Amino acid sequence: MATIQFRDIRKSFGDTDVLKGVGLDIADGEFLSLVGPSGCGKSTLLRILAGLESQTSGSVRIGGTPVDGLHAADRDLAMVFQSYALYPHLSVAENIAVPLTMRRLSNAQRLPLIGRALPGSRTTRAAIGTTVREAAEMLDIAHLLDRKPGQLSGGQRQRVALGRALVRDPSAFLLDEPLSNLDAKMRVHMRAEIAQLNRKLGATFVYVTHDQAEAMTMSDRIAVMMEGELLQVGTPDALYDHPEDIRVAQFIGSPAINILPVDTDASGTIRLCDMATGLRASGPPIEHLGVRPEAFVPCEEGELVVGRVRMIENLGSDLFVHLDAAGVPMPVTVRLPSSARGRIKVRDVMRLTATPARICGFDSAGKAAPVSAHDKAHDKAHDTAHDKVARHV
């Protein structure tokens, strides 16, 4: 059990800067996910923490002690790999036992044949066998202990890899995209199991993934990385509702957030396609508005967006409606409850609004900027202008 601290970690491969000064504190027992698109440096950060790669500058502390320059084996961490990385020549039981035999037995005791005859070897080996069995039972793979990895399914191999990690009771678990080789159903299942494991063991988990859904469902906190920088670290709720950067807003959530290009005039009024939106920038000028698909509400008047239905996706529980909206380059996605089924048809015109609290504003640099409701009620001119657009689309 340990805290983990990154201090200004930089890493360059030749001329390419993979990490550009990452600082991050992870609490004891926390489940932290590192998410970002591929090539953002998240795996490199994890490998630096593991000791498999060394940083160009900066320092890493585990449990308050600097571990820079310490070998991977001496950092008391366990890691689960995307490819599982099981030893193909060893049985499941032997695979899980490896971290224990490497640590509890001396060099001589590990020798084949002779090692077993040495004093103390038998009792230690028996103790290792018990621990391995306990770990296997916890992961429900006790019946597979004699098999070779080649005879197991993807999900079973994943459990063995987890078993090998947790058998040693390390201070932290590092998981590098452990679910991406599994099929969709298995992935959802293992997602729940890994989150439960974190609660049961109370150990620190650092989980690397490119899948925002995994990060959202499992984590205490998420760190979003892009192009070697940490964009935002926060709880899943905070990231979803209050993204600090337009790239975070776009990365988190499925279907993706709707980004509306807007202008802010000198008085702070935000205009979409030259029409007032009823919103004003209370800070720096706003260039984009972000609205989650479920934040939109159909309305009769005073709308933020108006558009023609292009496509309807019926998921049973929900309805995703895609609109071609005036002044918005990408189709606008709206999530409606299943009760709306049959009431909307393709080519219908829809008017949508959202409460200002659920609208995110972003300035020219893509950083979050405050948005508030316009003081005045919507004037007639605004409404008629919108009507014209509605007839147009």
Q: Which residues bind other proteins (CB under 8 A)?
A: 47, 50-52, 71-73, 77-79, 81-90, 98-99, 102-103, 148-152, 157, 164, 181
* CB of 30 vs other proteins, minimal distance in Å: 20
Nearer to other proteins, 82 or 372 (CB): 82
Q: Residue 73 gets which letter from DSSP?
A: G
Give the Cα separation of 270 and 264 in Å (integer): 4
Nearer to other proteins, 86 or 224 (CB): 86
Give the Cα separation of 384 and 3 in Å (integer): 59
Token readout for 1 is 């059990």
Nearer to other proteins, 125 or 164 (CB): 164
Nearer to other proteins, 24 or 79 (CB): 79
* CB of 213 vs other proteins, minimal distance in Å: 24
* CB of 150 vs other proteins, minimal distance in Å: 4
Nearer to other proteins, 150 or 329 (CB): 150
Nearer to other proteins, 92 or 276 (CB): 92
Nearer to other proteins, 81 or 320 (CB): 81
Residues 6+ apart with CB under 8 A from 160: 84, 86, 92, 95, 96, 139, 141, 144, 149, 152
Strand order in the sheet with 297-298: 297-298, 349-353, 305-314, 318-325, 332-337
* CB of 244 vs other proteins, minimal distance in Å: 33
Give the Cα separation of 259 and 361 in Å (integer): 10
* CB of 98 vs other proteins, minimal distance in Å: 5
Q: What is the number of H-type helices and E-type strands within the chain?
A: 10, 23
* CB of 76 vs other proteins, minimal distance in Å: 10
Nearer to other proteins, 157 or 221 (CB): 157
Question: DSSP letter string over 135-193?
Answer: HHHHTT-GGGTTS-GGGS-HHHHHHHHHHHHHTT--SEEEEESTTTTS-HHHHHHHHHH
* CB of 222 vs other proteins, minimal distance in Å: 24
Instruction: Write the single-letter amino acid at 12.
Output: S
Token readout for 131 is 């621990």
Q: Is 380 left (phi over 0), alpha (psi -120 to 50) or beta?
A: alpha
Rounded to whole angstroms, what are the CA distances from 351 to 30, 50, 308, 391? 43, 52, 9, 12
* CB of 262 vs other proteins, minimal distance in Å: 46
